[in-house]
């Protein structure tokens, strides 16, 4: 249930509503917008909305049948804008995250970092713990990899995002990265999501391989409900009957999510297509459709990459694409 306060409702009125919500066994989450304060009464205990409508300062009470509340646009009118290292995602902004699939060695990650910085990228990606389909495939360098990417990023004034796979890794990740990434395979690892709800760094939450938009938003709700409001949703393609591409990039998810939620949604066209030559058109299409940013795999030598080389752009290809994206973004009222 969501309680919308009247324009200019007093602090005292707001506090009374909050205590009333709590007295009914629900959590009260406050969202102060430019025109209205909104209070999310989150929980399952039975309440009668009319009891809330009668309180001083209350404009209206909205019963929400969808199970996500805090991620809903009903709870927060303004789009959430997440800023890391000067790069913004959400609202009028489309941000960029780029870098290799995986950290392979010092030279590789340093070269990638230099290129990214040279092209104006502010946030670099790179996996140290890789969720591979085969146990025999390269699993990542682990903590050594995180050290390498942090060093390369610092030298080039970049922020870092990397995928965290399990709860026990969180403290280590907090030491090395600026944004924690939850991969598609862990989107419904609810225990992991609950722990990530307690940290104060942003989380990129990738859409599960076969997750509906509702399930994805519910996963985000886990993170918000524990207190972490900084979630960037990432559409990375879903599994369909089509096999011409690695996944089917669901660009419709962009306008759908933007209507339902205030959270920023970015697109990963690299995993979404699995093929380098499809990355530029799908990046352009994502921004044209209103995406709040992109996550693109770029490798200094894609043909030698230990993971996902075929979908990784050459640095020069990326530079050319980034230039075009910056021309396109203002057409859809976005700054990139
Ligand atoms: C990745 O970003 O390298 C990755 C493994 O992505 P996903 O979780 O979307 O498959
Ligand atoms: Mn990858």
Q: How confident is the model at residue 324 (pLDDT cuts 50, 70, 90)?
A: very high
Instruction: Answer whether 281 contacts ligand 1 (Cβ < 6 A).
Output: no
Residue 257's pLDDT is 98
Question: Is any atom of ligand 1 closer than 6 Å to the C-beta of 115?
Answer: no
Quote the percentage of the chain above a pLDDT of 70: 99
Q: Which two tokens stand for residue 166?
A: 């399990």
- Domain count within the chain: 2
Atom 6 of ligand 1, residue of closest alpha carbon: 183
29 with 123, same domain: the answer is: no
Check whether residue 42 and residue 144 sit in a common domain: no
Same domain, 102 and 171: yes
- Give the residue among 248, 326, 238, 250 at the shortest CA–CA distance from 284: 326
Counting from 1 in the atom list of ligand 1, the atom nearest the Cα of 186 is 8
Token pair for residue 120?
């104006």
* 73 lies in some domain: no
Do the domain assignments include residue 272? yes
- Same domain, yes or no: 120 and 58: no
In 3D, which of 71, 127, 48 has the Cα closest to residue 312? 127
Same domain, residue pair 87 and 39:
no
Same domain membership, residue 150 and residue 11: no
Res 280 pLDDT > 80: yes
Examine the domain organization and report whether 16 and 126 are in the same domain. no
Statement to judge: residues 51 and 153 lie in one domain: no
Structure confidence at residue 179 as a pLDDT band (50, 70, 90) = very high
Query: Which tops the pLDDT comparison, 65 or 194?
Result: 194
51 Cα to the center of ligand 1, angstroms: 46
Decide: 246 in ligand 1 pocket, CB within 6 A.
Answer: no
What string of DSSP letters covers 74-141? Answer: TT-SSPP-EEETTEEEBTTB-EEEEE-SB---HHHHHHHHHHHHHTT--EEE-BSS---SSTTS----
SS in 3 state form for 34-72?
A: CCCEEEEEECCCCCCHHHHHCCCCEEEEECCCCCCCCCE
Same domain, 183 and 212: yes
Q: Which of 37-46, 199-208, 231-240, 324-333 has the lowest mean pLDDT?
A: 37-46
Per the domain annotation, does 183 fall within a domain?
yes
138 with 48, same domain: the answer is no
Asked if residue 72 is part of any domain, the answer here is no
- Sign (positive/negative) of CA torsion 115, 159, 225, 258? negative
- Pair 25, 90 in one domain: no
Let me know whether 51 and 156 are in one domain: no
Nearest CA among 260, 262, 207, 181 for reference residue 229: 262
Q: Whose CA is closest to 159, among 91, 101, 97? A: 97
Instruction: Please state, for a pLDDT cut of 90, what percent of the chain lies above it.
Output: 93
Q: What pTM was estimated for this model as a whole?
A: 0.91
Give residue 188's domain range. 82-332
Q: What is the pLDDT of residue 186?
A: 98
> Each residue of 203-249: pLDDT tens digit?
999 999 999 999 999 999 999 999 999 999 999 999 999 999 999 99
In a domain, 45, yes or no: yes
How far, in Å, are 34, 62, 219, 224 from residue 66 at the CA level? Answer: 25, 12, 13, 16
149 C-beta neighbours (distance < 10 Å), count = 29
Identify the CA nearest to 281 among candidates 299, 293, 297, 269.
269
Can you give the CATH number for the domain in which 113 is found? 3.20.20.70
Backbone angles phi, psi at 314, to 5 degrees: -70, 150
Does 101 sit in the ligand 1 pocket, CB within 6 Å? yes
3-state DSSP assignment of residue 260: helix
């Amino acid at each position: 249930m969501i309680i919308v306060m009247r324009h200019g409702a007093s602090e005292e009125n707001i506090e009374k509503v909050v205590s009333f919500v709590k007295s009914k066994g629900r959590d009260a989450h406050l969202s102060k917008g430019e025109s209205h304060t909104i209070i999310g009464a989150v929980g399952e205990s039975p309440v009668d909305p009319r009891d809330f409508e009668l309180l001083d300062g209350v404009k209206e009470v909205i019963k929400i049948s969808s199970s996500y509340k805090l991620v809903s646009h009903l709870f927060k009118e303004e789009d959430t804008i997440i800023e890391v290292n000067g790069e913004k995602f959400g609202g009028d902004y489309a941000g960029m995250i780029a870098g290799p699939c995986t950290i392979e060695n010092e030279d590789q990650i340093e070269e990638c970092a230099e290129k990214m910085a040279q092209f104006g990228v502010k946030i670099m990606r790179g996996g140290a713990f890789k969720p591979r389909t085969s146990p025999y495939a390269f699993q990542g360098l682990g903590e050594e990899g995180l050290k390498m990417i942090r060093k390369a990023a610092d030298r080039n004034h970049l922020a870092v995002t990397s995928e965290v796979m399990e709860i026990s890794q969180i403290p280590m990740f907090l030491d090395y990265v600026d944004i924690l990434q939850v991969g598609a395979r862990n989107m419904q690892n609810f225990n992991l999501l609950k722990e990530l709800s307690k940290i104060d760094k942003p989380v990129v939450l990738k859409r599960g391989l076969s997750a509906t938009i509702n399930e994805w938003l519910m996963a985000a709700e886990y993170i918000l409900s524990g207190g972490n409001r900084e979630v960037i949703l990432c559409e990375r393609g879903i599994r369909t009957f089509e096999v011409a591409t690695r996944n089917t990039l669901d660009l419709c998810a962009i306008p759908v999510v933007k209507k339902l939620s205030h959270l920023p949604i970015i697109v990963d066209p690299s995993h979404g297509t699995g093929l380098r030559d499809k990355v530029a058109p799908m990046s352009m299409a994502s921004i044209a459709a209103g995406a709040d940013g992109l996550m693109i795999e770029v490798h200094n030598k894609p043909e030698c990459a230990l993971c996902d080389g075929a979908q990784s752009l050459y640095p020069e290809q990326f530079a050319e694409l980034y230039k075009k994206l910056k021309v396109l973004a203002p057409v859809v009222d976005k700054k990139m």
